[in-house]
Amino acid sequence: MPFPKLSSRADSVMVATLLAWSNTGICMASVAPIHFAGTDTLSLRQLDELNGLPKGASFRWFKACEAELVEGRDYFHLPSDAHQAFIDELRVAGQIYTSTRHLLLLTRSGYEQLRARSAT
């Protein structure tokens, strides 16, 4: 399945989000990154919304690239049995989909790799 090309508006929003992941601590994006394991990350819901994609598009994008990504560097997989309270907190805050059971968070490097692959 080919990945959608992102619009210039979506690219601008993501650039602002990526700037929020810099060492300045200034959040210039329309969403607040999720801080986990000392790293700012974005949920699949946030990525879908920032890129104007339908629910599930970022997950499919991730699954197609998963073999090239490194867990703990490019993404974090948080199973519900170990992270239920955190998942519930994010759900209440609207940062993840209400149907999320196991949480997947992408780091800046993970997102950049997804973007690079979508450009090919």
Domain boundaries, the chain: 8-118
| Beta carbons of 21 and 33 less than 8 angstroms apart | yes
94 pLDDT band (50/70/90 cuts)?
very high
What pTM did the predictor assign? 0.75
Q: For 37-66, what is each residue's pLDDT tens digit?
A: 999 999 999 999 988 899 999 999 999 999
The CATH class, in words, for 8-118 is alpha beta
User: Is 112 exposed, middle or buried, given 0-12, 13-18 or 19+ CB atoms closer than 10 A?
Assistant: middle
